[in-house]
Structure 1
Amino acid sequence: MENEIRRTLDELVTRYELEPDLRDIYVEGKTDKLLIEWFLDQKKNQGFAVYEIDTVEIPAQLLFEQGLKDNNRSRVITLALYINDKLSETSLHITCVADKDFDWLFCKEYQCDLLLFTDYSCLEMYLFNEAVLDKCLRLGLGLSQPKAREVLNQLSRVLEDLFLIRDTNEALNLNMRWLDKFGDCCKLNKKDYQVQFELKTFITKYLNSNSNRSQESRFITKLEELRAKKLIEIRYKIHGHDFTELLCWYIRPYLGTEIRSSYNSEILARSLLACIDADKLSQEGLFQRLLARIDR
């Protein structure tokens, strides 16, 4: 990214006014950029460019005016809203892709034709898939056990709890720093490899580490309130980082001793990406909308 030009918002407005044939896509980070570029290349699309949002200068004040946090997701949303407001008519020159994140829980929507969201909570949830994980485990890691379906079933409940904890932090506007390694509150039963997550212990540690122990009762009440907003699709209720971290933790005992100590969640995430199928992705709403915009 060092060689890419960092443009201002007004420079971008001028760019899209003067160059109507452009088909630019802005995403949150490097993984998003690589996946979308690869997917569109697989579908033989040409004439597009994908940029990380860090290539654009977006003043923090604009984020705060929209009631958004200071992060890359908010920058992508702000870019889409700004360009949409400044151009005289709806433009296909630019598409901004952001994670859905917690918006479905807060019933938050954005009226902007330039802005697309992931079908699930985040881009990593396209990897939370039995076929993708099965290929990764069997061909990428050479494991006949554990089975992909069982792994996803085992992890789902814990991942939903972790998502709700993160969501409660957002809902209460506590701005707390996340606990590393799940606060050592995940245990693996060596007999049947069942995952046990000590939810209340994690919450206590989480609040203590952020000097917020007095919020415990309020925190748990809000969490259960959010849990009541049920959705059938689990991929709405998982944070991408939690998925790869917990999955790496779960499969580590199955790995050979030669790689066990050096294997980490970042390597695992890359392995999962390498197992994704472009034709399967093209059946998802986000990727269908991307193809439709690029093909116009």
Structure 2
Amino acid sequence: MENETRRTLDELVTRYELAPDLCDIYVEGKTDKLLIEWFLDQKEHQGFVVYEIDTVEIPAQLLFEQGLKDNNRSRVIALALYIQDKLSETPLHLTCIADKDFDLLFGKEYQCNLLLFTDYSCLEIYLFNEVVLDKYLRLGLRLSQPRAREVLNQVSRVLEDLFLIRATNEALELNMRWLEKFGDCCNLNKNNNQIQFDSTTFINKYLNSNRNHSQESIFRIKLEELRAKELIEIRYKIHGHDFTELLCWYIRPYLRKEIRSSYNSEILAGSLLVCIDVEKLAQEVLFQSLLARIGR
């Protein structure tokens, strides 16, 4: 937490009662913090401070009372709801930013003036962009093939399946640990570069690894129910970790031999962030809303 003081909720309520003009921003984690700081610096804004939610003590009981999961996203939401409830006037500049996650799929909404959500499922999905990926493939990796549009078209089908499988676990409240090596269930057809994802095998492995094979029938029924819900924008249906992992798996065969073995999804994610254009980011609703809050 970079030596930041861990504050209690009551301390924060007092802080904003006494200094309602403070421009504080709370986010889920370090990447979120650095991206928001960089964006606002590029837009020449000053006087703001971005905090990771780990700098705040959020009691587990509060998460339970608000019907939230025990994770950083929930802690950001809980903080916003708590402060809004405790203060008679909403601070003008205080902002909590959380991933949209499965909210669109589940029809979940929060009535909170302090809370902003990512435009897509999570912050990493701003990287799911043809211009960003094209710059990275051509200039970062010096690859003329594959082309960015083709890559995004190929990985999107698998990513949607993985997102819906994650969502099914959430909807059924099975609390299963994710099966990290989904690449074992993917094959790349070298003739047309299409990914073949064996979702049946993956789901079986997922359930078995969590000792939940007895739930297979219920799991598959719920999965198809969620699949029937039409979310037109593919970026609403992608988990950030799955995106970087699958993209890494897909482009690894194209890499030069000297970097292929050491290449991983963390390196890829950091490199994609470098390719983001601040003006393109400023066109997104989240960042427009953030600029409006800071400027008022």
Shorter-chain-normalised TM-score: which range? over 0.9
Give the letter aligned to residue 40 of structure 2: L
CA apart distance, 1:90: 1.6
The equivalent residue for 1:180 is: 180
- Pair 1:217-2:198 in alignment: no
Q: Which residue of 2 aligns with 1:28?
A: 28
Structure 2 counterpart of 1:139: 139
Who is 1:14 aligned against? 14
Q: Which residue of 2 aligns with 1:105?
A: 105
1:157 match: 157
Within a 5 Å distance, the mapping from 1:247-286 to structure 2 comes to 247-286=247-286
1:179-210 CA-to-partner distances (Å, cap 9, x unmatched) read: 12116101112232210000111111111111
Match of 1:121 in 2: 121
CA distance in 2, matches of 1:217, 1:65: 31
Counterpart CA distance in 2 for 1:178 and 1:208 is 11
2: CA distance, partners of 1:105 / 1:20: 35
Runs (5+) with no aligned partner, structure 1: none
Q: Is the Cα–Cα contact under 8 Å of residues 121 and 239 in structure 1 kept in the other structure?
A: yes
Q: Aligned-pair RMSD on alpha carbons?
A: 0.8
Is 1:166 the counterpart of 2:166 in the alignment?
yes
Deviation, 1:93, is 3.7
Residues 26 and 53 in structure 2, CA contact (< 8 A), matched pair in contact too:
yes
1-structure distance, mates of 2:20, 2:10: 16
* Per-residue deviation, 1:19: 1.5
Q: How far apart, CA to CA, are the structure 1 residues paired with 2:2 and 2:46?
A: 24
Contact 2:105–2:231 (8 Å) recurs in 1: no
Deviation at 1:21, TM superposition (A): 2.3
1:210-244 deviation digits (Å, cap 9, x = unpaired): 11111111111110110010121000000000000
Judge conservation of contact 2:26–2:76 (CA < 8 Å) in 1: yes
Partner of 2:82: 82
Q: Which residue in 2 is equivalent to 1:291? A: 291
| C-alpha distance in structure 1 between counterparts of 2:76 and 2:220, whole Å | 32
Runs of 4+ in 1 over 4 A off after TM superposition: none
Could you tell me which amino acid in structure 2 is paired with residue 11 of structure 1? E
For normalisation by structure 2, the TM-score amounts to 0.99
The answer for unaligned runs of 5 or more in structure 2 is none
Amino acid in the other structure paired with 1:19: A
Match of residue 92 from structure 1? 92
Q: How does 1:229-244 map to 2 (within 5 A)?
A: 229-244=229-244
